[in-house]
Amino acid sequence: MPAPCGFLVLDKPAGPTSHGCVAAVRRCYGLRRVGHGGTLDPAVTGVLPIAVGSATRLLPYLSGSKAYRGIVQLGVSTSSDDLEGTVLERRNPPALSIAALEAALQPLRGAILQRPPQVSAVHVDGERAYVRARRGEAMALEPRAVTVELLRLLAWDPESGELEIEVRCSAGTYIRALARDLGESLGCGGALARLRRTEALGFNLDGAVPLERLDTGAPPPLRDPLEALGHLQRRSLTPEEMAPWSCGRPLAAEPQPAGAALELPIEAQPVAILRPDGSLAGIAQGDPRGQLQPRLVFDAAG
């Protein structure tokens, strides 16, 4: 029987860490080669893609875009920019109309510079920021370039000071920091109250498996790796090209009868390589000469 290779999309509950979810998947499938795509804080729920077997090698090629739905609490500032942290200050939120909230959200959309939370995984002098923060250190973290593709106001409750938002953003974006920055711009403080990730690495909640499912019955079936590679161009191998590909030889970029034409130029672009039966054979990258250089070869010869 071939070794498992694919993705398990978990619907993570609040409480477990992402590392704990990986450990549960390892126990369920009896494998060590398991990795997750995109850490979720323990309090955050939703989509946590888990790569199983040789699919772990595909993680660098997956789309980094993510989507969330969350609740922001105005009127409070905390050490971690969410309600899990120590409360630093409380203020009454101002009376805000929908139009005023939209105006405050606008500068947080698009390509922005965002300062990570003090409690984050950012490295500071070789140490994670959250480790230093737990020692009581205050750090001047450098803002980072991120892209907020979508920031939509879904609901606003002026009585409680809560607003619901939908976010689609690039990898490395902190929703906690969006909550903090919104509160700062309004002069009342803000913190993330609840968050659910709805999309990550090309997967969404459709068909996501609850974590407790791993403790009952047979291991859930894995998702085809190609599901996560829809953003890549594809090149199909002919039967004659299978042996050279498995030996790591470059491919011509021109289309074959079995596949669609690539959109040129392809220099530096990753391309999914398919076997004649349509399954994933690996990943190649275009070079300046218009050839496809193997970067990842499944079932390599030798």
Q: Do 31 and 76 have their domain in common?
A: no
Whether 258 is covered by a domain: the verdict is yes
Q: What is the reported pLDDT for 125?
A: 57
Which residue type sits at 234?
A: R
Whether 1 is covered by a domain: the verdict is no
Whether 190 is covered by a domain: the verdict is yes
Average pLDDT of every residue of the chain: 89
Whether 302 is covered by a domain: the verdict is no
Q: Do 241 and 215 have their domain in common?
A: no
Packing angle between helix 98-105 and helix 175-186, nearest 10 degrees?
Answer: 120
Q: Do 126 and 184 have their domain in common?
A: yes
In the chain, the N- to C-terminal Cα span, in Å, equals 20
Q: Do 42 and 128 have their domain in common?
A: no
Q: Do 96 and 195 have their domain in common?
A: yes
Give the pLDDT mean for 79-86. 92
Whether 122 is covered by a domain: the verdict is yes
Q: Do 208 and 196 have their domain in common?
A: no
Write out pLDDT tens, residues 233-257.
Answer: 999 999 999 999 999 999 988 645 4
Q: Are strands 162-169 and 66-74 parallel, antiparallel or unpaired?
A: antiparallel
- Count: domains in the chain: 3
What DSSP line would sit under 33-96, residue for residue?
A: -EEESS---TT-EEEEEEEEGGGGGGGGGS---EEEEEEEEETEEESSSBTTS-EEEE-PPPP-
Q: Do 186 and 236 have their domain in common?
A: no
Split at pLDDT 50, 70, 90, the class of 20 is very high
Split at pLDDT 50, 70, 90, the class of 140 is low
Domain that holds residue 245: 232-297
Q: Do 189 and 278 have their domain in common?
A: no
Q: What percent of the chain has a predicted confidence (pLDDT) above 70?
A: 88
Q: Do 100 and 160 have their domain in common?
A: yes
Whether 245 is covered by a domain: the verdict is yes
Q: Do 147 and 22 have their domain in common?
A: no
Q: Do 184 and 80 have their domain in common?
A: yes
Does the annotation count 287 as an active-site position? no
Whether 135 is covered by a domain: the verdict is yes
Whether 268 is covered by a domain: the verdict is yes
- Residue 290 in tokens: 């218009």
Domain of 140, CATH number, reads: 3.30.2350.10
Note the pTM of the prediction, 2 decimals.
Answer: 0.88
Q: What is the reported pLDDT for 258?
A: 46
Q: Which one of 11, 41, 81, 181 is the catalytic residue?
A: 41
